[in-house]
Amino acid sequence: MTDTIISSATKEVVIGFDRPFVIIGERINPTGRKLLAAEMAEGDYSRVESDALAQVEAGAHMLDVNAGIPMADEPRILAEAIQLVQSLTDVPLSIDSSIVEALESGLAVYKGKALVNSVTGEEERLEAVLPLVKKYGAAVVAISNDETGISEDPDVRFDVAKKIVERAADYGIPASDVVVDPLIMPIGALNEAGSAAFKLLHRLQKELKVNTTGGASNVSFGLPNRNGLNGAFISMAMASGLTSAITNPLHAEVMTSIMGADVMMGHDPNCTRWIKKYREPSVEGEGGGRESRRRRGRG
Amino acid sequence: MGEQENDLDLATLNDDELVQQMHDDLYDGLAEEIDTAVRILLDREWQPYDILTKALVEGMRIVGVDFRDGILFVPEVLMSANSMKAGMKILKPLLAETGAPKMGKMLIGTVKGDIHDIGKNLVAMMMEGAGFDVVDIGINNPVEKYLEAIEEHQPDILGMSALLTTTMPYMKVVIDALVEKGIRSDIEVFVGGAPLNEAFAESIGADAYCRDAAMAVETAKEMMSRRQGSASAAMAGSG
């Protein structure tokens, strides 16, 4: 049992084996979103604002914030976006950049304990990112690749993940603050992408005892009805040990799969959250006086 | 439909019907059928170069259009490309023997620091599928590796890809090195990868930004027809 605690100034989210799945909203990311990229580069954060609110409204427990815009001042933009999102909502954030200076400027303004996204097994990255994670008392996403590339062999990826966890320990970062990203590959190009991910997730939970996350939507790249596949993948991945995902909470199929898998895993006792979300509104004149009875809130 | 196709004897078709059937079989990703059809056309004393352009390249052109328009999807296109490869396997040595004109050669690899290669691999497969010679130098390439490979293989096109905002500026390092060596104008530079855009490609002095694999193939064909003049333009374009 491993709990990873991420927080904002006022709210704590726990990623853990025996807990409801944690949904990290992926939308605040200009990669592949031309309009958002152009607006953010010009200091217009209105779409960041609406994306943040919509995702929380749809059920995101955390939000990922990325400002990866070519030729822009990413450290400044990322810090500004983080401050804005933290002023709008109390969900904890994942600070997402491949530029170390941007991670640092984001961490410097962040209120609470952030999730740093990400470090890889590459020596240079480990040495640059882990001290930052330690300095700010954050948690970190560990991507299971290194200088040699992304192995298709889940056992090789496991070894990379293990190395990162060990290196983090050298810096005084506990394994509970390392959330491993197994690197979800497109199934349309690699038929073994699903089974490799499930095998790796299983080992990460049973042997390395770490929490996990990942870009779940990658799995459906280049295919039709992506949300359908994303949902199927996520529920199977959850059964294999995936404890959080960076995904789009605005997609109903994906949310249904996650909430349904939570029920099946026994992480939604008495199906309380499922019922609350999907109960049909009672038709007027029916329902045996549900409205009139005094009901105690159960969550 | 499936049963009928299984019963179809390719050898009974006349040339036009057979070429038409090859377009369909490429579309459906039927490698064995393509292999058989190529052999039949060779038996009928077709020039390897005509088989390449009229049957295979034209078939893959149709695949490319439907991929671009969202009618075909990645796994289907990979099956088509593999079928094309099955045909190329037979034709390649014959093309070399007969001194047929080349479709063009591409050198491709991800830049230093970047190990993400799924997109790069898709481009390589689609380019091969379109009849190009592809030299894939893999991931994490420093500028020296690009220069060495360019000298060795003399490609028409250099393709570089990067998935990270931290690694994409390295493309400029490579392009600047080409300028410095005085070989920049000998080679067309295509760049691609999720965080890139046209403005970035322009700012680093690349010749083209290719949004996806289908776009890379289209751009490469246009570029080659510009380079080779109108004779081969007709070849690459209409088949």
* Residue B71: predicted pLDDT: 92
Q: How is residue A257 written in tokens?
A: 């799969």
For residues A250-271, average pLDDT: 95
Q: Where are the domains of chain A?
A: 3-277
Interface contact flag, B115 A145, Cβ < 8 Å: yes
Interface with B, mutate which of A31, A42, A74 (most B CBs under 10 A): A31
User: How does DSSP classify residue A289?
Assistant: T
Average pLDDT over residues B17-24: 97
ipTM exceeds 0.85, yes or no? no
- For residue A222, the SS3 value is coil
pLDDT value of residue A294: 61
Distance CA B149, CA B151 (A): 5
CATH 3.40.50.280 fits B105-228, yes or no: yes
Confidence of residue A285 (pLDDT cuts 50, 70, 90): low
Chain A residues in contact with B197 by the CB 8 A cut-off are 34, 37, 70
Q: What is the pTM of this model?
A: 0.83
Residue ranges of the domains in chain B? 2-100, 105-228
Between residues B36 and B1, the one the model is more confident about: B36
Residue of chain B nearest A33, judged by CA positions? B195
Confidence of residue B238 (pLDDT cuts 50, 70, 90): very low
Count of A–B CB contacts within 8 Å?
60
Residue B122's pLDDT is what? Answer: 86
Mean pLDDT estimate for chain A: 93
Residue A52, pLDDT > 90, answer: yes
pLDDT beyond 90 at A295 = no
In CATH terms, the superfamily for domain B2-100 is: Methionine synthase domain (1.10.1240.10)
Neighbours of B150 (CB within 10 A): 21
Identify whether A292 is preceded by a cis peptide bond (ω within 30 of 0). Answer: no
pLDDT at position A297 over 70: no
pLDDT of residue B103: 85
Query: Is residue B50 over pLDDT 70?
Result: yes
pLDDT at residue B99 in the model: 84
Q: At what angle do helices B170-180 and B143-153 cross, to 10 degrees?
A: 50
Over 80: is that where the pLDDT of B88 sits? yes
pLDDT of residue B214: 86
Which is it for the CA torsion A213, A214, A220, A226, positive or negative?
A: positive
Which range has the worst mean pLDDT, B22-31, B68-77, B225-234? B225-234
Contacts of residue A147 in chain B, CB cutoff 8 Å? 115, 140
The domain defined by A3-277 folds into TIM Barrel (3.20.20)
